[in-house]
């Protein structure tokens, strides 16, 4: 069903479902071939050799139609599975996939490396064992913020990514479920959909960056966008998708662990509309709300040791300044994301009045003795 943007929908099958469709379970939308179009992988729960029980990959043709290419690219597997976990496990710029087995009746878990759109089975050398527990939920996130995406197998086994397409088994038994940073500490937590438990991540020591895409021409949540960051440790990618594993809805925020890196040199968002937004030189351990705007947005200037925060965020009439340093009477500039200064004033009583600027996403920049520091905020 395609939305017309005005509350209506149009039924367009586009070739999906015209191939055998028995046993469809976890369906994940992902751009596997880096053409900017979201494709769909369907995990098949039944297993066996009949066509309707073999995993499918539907390539987006860009004209509202899809072509099933599972056999062509190496993913037409009859392993019995409910879900797959897609991510760029080796940080080489394309999406690999872990096919999680729900039963060993037709084989077990598989790690498939993406080599220019063709998938190669590297399970044997990856450290992933056929003897691992099976399950229906397989999701992947960077749980320890080291810059490499890990895999949670149905809440029984955590596969920690070593960064070279090998994985180390951890006995951390965290119930598998929706994932998000619930306490805003930069580490991802898990909610159990069955018992109602919340598992707070106790990891520490590594930095992170969280990015909330805000669509304008595209959908508001940026679903279908690809976010790429570059820091000293290299490049990482995330696709903004609304489904996770078999039945989970995790946060839509793009979360990146960046190890000990303190600056992310660039952030690039390729939006479904075709618009590309790029931001440069961003501090670690921040959450950015980035609006869909064509071109480059203003970059961060020289670092200030005494960092500051703003609240509430989003805000309406006032922006409050929180810092260990007293910024009262310091000059502050409010810039839009094109770099234009829309307000220049002095901080009074640790706050700034915003009633004269329109709604949108801005940067607050403080000039402290010739050195600048800035944070992003949203005016409602």
pLDDT of residue 46: 67
Residue 82 contacts residue 136 (beta carbons within 8 Å): yes
Q: What is the DSSP string of 144-210?
A: S-SSS-EEEETTTEEEEE-SSS-EEEE---PPP--EE-TTSSSS-EEE-TTT--EE-----S-EEEE
**Can you tell me the distance from the alpha carbon of 123 to that of 110, in angstroms, rounded to the nearest whole number?**
5
Query: Which residue matches tokens 């309406």?
Result: 316
pLDDT of residue 26: 67
Structure tokens that stand for 308 in this block? 């500051």
Label the pairing between strands 66-68 and 56-60: antiparallel
Three-state secondary structure call for residue 289: strand
User: pLDDT per position in the chain (380 positions), as tens?
Assistant: 566 667 777 666 556 655 555 566 668 889 999 999 999 998 887 655 665 678 889 999 998 889 999 999 999 888 878 789 999 999 999 999 999 888 888 888 899 999 999 999 999 999 887 778 887 788 899 999 999 999 988 767 889 999 999 999 887 767 777 888 999 899 999 888 777 788 899 889 999 999 989 888 898 889 999 999 999 999 999 999 887 876 677 888 999 999 999 889 999 999 999 999 988 888 888 888 787 877 766 544 343 344 678 899 899 899 998 887 787 888 888 888 767 788 888 889 899 999 889 998 888 888 665 556 778 889 99
Angle at the Cα of 125 from the Cα atoms of 79 and 41, rounded to 5 degrees: 35
pLDDT of residue 302: 40
The count of other CB atoms within 10 Å of the CB of residue 120 is 11
Three-state secondary structure call for residue 295: strand
Residue 261 contacts residue 271 (beta carbons within 8 Å): no
pLDDT of residue 116: 93
pLDDT of residue 29: 87
Picking from 256, 204, 254, 212, the residue whose alpha carbon sits closest to that of residue 91 is 256
pLDDT of residue 260: 96
């Amino acid at each position: 069903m395609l939305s017309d943007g005005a509350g209506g929908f149009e039924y367009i099958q586009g070739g999906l479902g015209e191939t055998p469709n028995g046993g469809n379970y976890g369906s994940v939308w992902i751009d596997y071939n880096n053409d900017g179009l979201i494709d769909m992988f369907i995990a098949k729960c039944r297993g066996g050799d009949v066509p309707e029980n073999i995993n499918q990959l539907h390539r987006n043709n860009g004209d509202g139609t899809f072509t099933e290419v599972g056999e062509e690219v190496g993913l037409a597997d009859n392993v019995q599975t409910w879900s797959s976990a897609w991510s760029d496990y080796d940080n080489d710029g394309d999406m690999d996939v872990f096919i999680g087995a729900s039963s060993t009746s037709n084989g077990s878990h598989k790690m498939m490396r993406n080599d220019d759109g063709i998938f190669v089975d590297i399970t044997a050398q990856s450290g992933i064992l056929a003897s691992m527990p099976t399950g229906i939920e397989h999701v992947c996130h960077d749980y320890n913020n080291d810059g490499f995406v890990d895999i949670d197998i149905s809440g029984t086994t955590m596969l920690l990514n070593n960064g070279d397409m090998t994985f180390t088994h951890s006995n951390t038994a965290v119930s598998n479920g929706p994932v998000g940073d619930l306490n805003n500490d930069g580490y991802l937590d898990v909610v159990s959909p069955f018992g109602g438990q919340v598992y707070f991540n106790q990891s520490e020591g590594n930095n992170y960056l969280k990015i909330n895409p805000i669509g304008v021409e595209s959908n508001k949540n940026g679903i279908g966008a690809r976010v790429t960051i570059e820091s000293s440790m290299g490049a990482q990618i995330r696709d903004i998708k609304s489904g996770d594993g078999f039945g989970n809805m995790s946060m839509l925020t793009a979360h990146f662990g960046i190890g000990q890196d303190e600056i992310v040199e660039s952030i690039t968002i390729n939006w479904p509309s075709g618009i590309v937004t790029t931001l440069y030189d961003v501090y670690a351990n921040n959450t950015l709300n980035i609006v869909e705007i064509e071109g480059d947005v203003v970059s961060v200037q020289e670092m200030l040791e005494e960092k500051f925060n703003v609240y509430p965020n989003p805000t309406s009439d006032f922006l409050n300044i929180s810092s260990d340093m007293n910024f009262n009477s310091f000059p502050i500039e409010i810039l839009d994301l094109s770099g234009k200064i829309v307000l220049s004033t002095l901080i009074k009583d640790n706050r700034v009045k915003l009633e004269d600027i329109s709604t949108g996403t801005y940067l607050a920049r403080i000039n402290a003795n010739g050195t600048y520091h800035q944070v992003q905020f949203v005016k409602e």
